[in-house]
Structures are given as C-alpha cells and as structure tokens.
Chains A and B, each alone.
Chain A
Amino acid sequence: GENVEQHPSTLSVQEGDSAVIKCTYSDSASNYFPWYKQELGKGPQLIIDIRSNVGEKKDQRIAVTLNKTAKHFSLHITETQPEDSAVYFCAASPINSGYSTLTFGKGTMLLVSP
C-alpha cells in the first residue's frame, strides 16, 4: 500500500517568514495530494490540494508543488502569521474510476512566533 513520509515533524518560524513542509510517497499510482490543517481541539481541515496533472497550485499565501518523477510534494506558506500555527498533514491517494482512501503523513507542528 501507499506510504507517506512527512518532514519536518516540528517547524518554528518568525512571523513574516516562509515555511516549507515536504512529503514523499511510495505508490506511483497516487495522483491526488491534499493538505490538511489541524488546529488545537479540532479535526483536520482541507486547505489546498493538487492533482498529478499540474505541478503547482497557489491560493493566496499557500502553494503546493508536486514532482511526480521524484514522488514528492511540498506545502509552502509565505508571510506566515501566528494564526498559521497548527499541525499540517499531507496525504496521497490514487483517485481513479472507483474510490481510494487517503494515506496521511505523520504531521508537522508549525509554530509561528510574533
């Protein structure tokens, strides 16, 4: 089955700096890569996703890049703010004509200091 590795496990940045979280996956059939943000006491929430037919996707201060050849994808947050502090999870899935479940990374705790 799919195996997703996520690094780093913790990341501390100063407000205004950029943050990058990286994930690798093992199943070459995976073609859908979402990122989730989990705030304290809440469930994970989808913040951005990318499919294998594109290499990059942006949404305001958040961007995701995908390298299918190397089987890795990354989350980039620019101009970080204290409210970005949370645990971020990457995931991968071979979405096809049927339905496949997501395999999650172990998570990255991001701390943004004012």
Chain B
Amino acid sequence: DAGVIQSPRHEVTEMGQEVTLRCKPISGHDYLFWYRQTMMRGLELLIYFNNNVPIDDSGMPEDRFSAKMPNASFSTLKIQPSEPRDSAVYFCASTETGSSGYTFGSGTRLTVV
C-alpha cells in the first residue's frame, strides 16, 4: 500500500488566492482527518469524515476553509481566500473502524505571501 497520499507537497500562493489541498486515504479506511501543524499551535484537528460524511468540523478556523470528500478515495481542503496566517503544514490522516492508530500523509507545506 502506498499509504496516505497528499498533493501538492509544497504550495506557495499569494494572499487572496484560492488554494486546494488533496488527499487520497488508504484503501478500506473509513475515517479521514485533516490536521494543521504550526509551531505555535502544534497539531490541530480541522475536520474529520466517516464514510465520506463530515462528522465534526468544529476545528475549521473560519468560513474561508471548506472540505469535501466526494468518494472513499479522495478528499479536498480548500482555502478561499487565503491569508498569510494560513501558512502551515496541512496533514491528512486515515484509519479504519476498530483500529486506533492513524496513518498520516507526508503533508502539504502551504506558504501564503
């Protein structure tokens, strides 16, 4: 298994632009999580899905952030419009019912200038 796959690995964009981050979970995993990692706040849960349905989006910082999971093998996290304070590493992780451990992707390093 290739693990959790995220793209792009790095993204540099200008303030005000739309940014879309992508994630492919491990096949068979029914939970998918989006985390944001910064030096100041550590790993923050933004949203998670179960069987493609958003369960808890209370961690999404504001309406500029949205996430979708149109099918079991793909999810997106969109920021529109982006701001410099959104600069962080964004991780996607997945797991399956009955398992406790998460498998993380390699992350997307987002820089908004």
Q: Which residue of chain A lies nearest to B40 when distances are taken between CB atoms in the complex? A: A106
CB proximity of A8 to chain B, nearest CB, Å:
14
Query: Quick one: given A101-B33, A101-B45, are A43 and B93 in contact (CB under 8 Å)?
Result: yes
The one of B31, B45, B105 that contacts A43, using a Cβ cutoff of 8 Å? B105
User: Once the chains bind, are B106 and A43 in contact (CB under 8 Å)?
Assistant: yes
Give the dominant DSSP class at B's interface. Answer: strand
**CB-defined interface of B68-105 with A at 8 Å, one 1/0 digit per residue?**
00000000000000000000000101000100111111
A93: chain B residues within 8 A (beta carbon): 100
Query: Quick one: given A43-B91, A43-B107, A99-B31, are A105 and B102 in contact (CB under 8 Å)?
Result: no
B91: chain A residues within 8 A (beta carbon): 43-44
A104: chain B residues within 8 A (beta carbon): 42-43
Q: Does B4 contact A (CB under 8 A)?
A: yes
Query: Quick one: given A43-B4, A106-B42, are A101 and B100 in contact (CB under 8 Å)?
Result: no
User: Once the chains bind, are B100 and A34 in contact (CB under 8 Å)?
Assistant: yes
B104: chain A residues within 8 A (beta carbon): 36, 43-45
Q: Does A42 contact B (CB under 8 A)?
A: yes
The one of B4, B48, B50, B102 that contacts A46, using a Cβ cutoff of 8 Å? B102
The one of B42, B97, B100, B106 that contacts A32, using a Cβ cutoff of 8 Å? B100
Q: Which residue of chain B lies nearest to A93 when distances are taken between CB atoms in the complex? A: B100
Number of A residues whose C-beta is below 8 Å from B? 21
Q: Does B14 contact A (CB under 8 A)?
A: no
* A89-B102 Cα distance, complex, nearest whole Å: 13
CB proximity of B48 to chain A, nearest CB, Å:
6
**CB-defined interface of B19-60 with A at 8 Å, one 1/0 digit per residue?**
000000000000101000000001101001010000010000
A44: chain B residues within 8 A (beta carbon): 43, 91, 102, 104
Report B's interface with A, CB cutoff 8 A. 4, 31, 33, 42-43, 45, 48, 50, 56, 91, 93, 97, 100-107
Provide 16 A-B residue pairs closer than 8 Å at the C-beta atoms, listed in order of the A residue: A32-B100, A36-B104, A42-B107, A43-B4, A43-B107, A44-B43, A45-B104, A46-B103, A49-B101, A95-B100, A99-B31, A101-B45, A101-B56, A102-B102, A103-B45, A104-B42
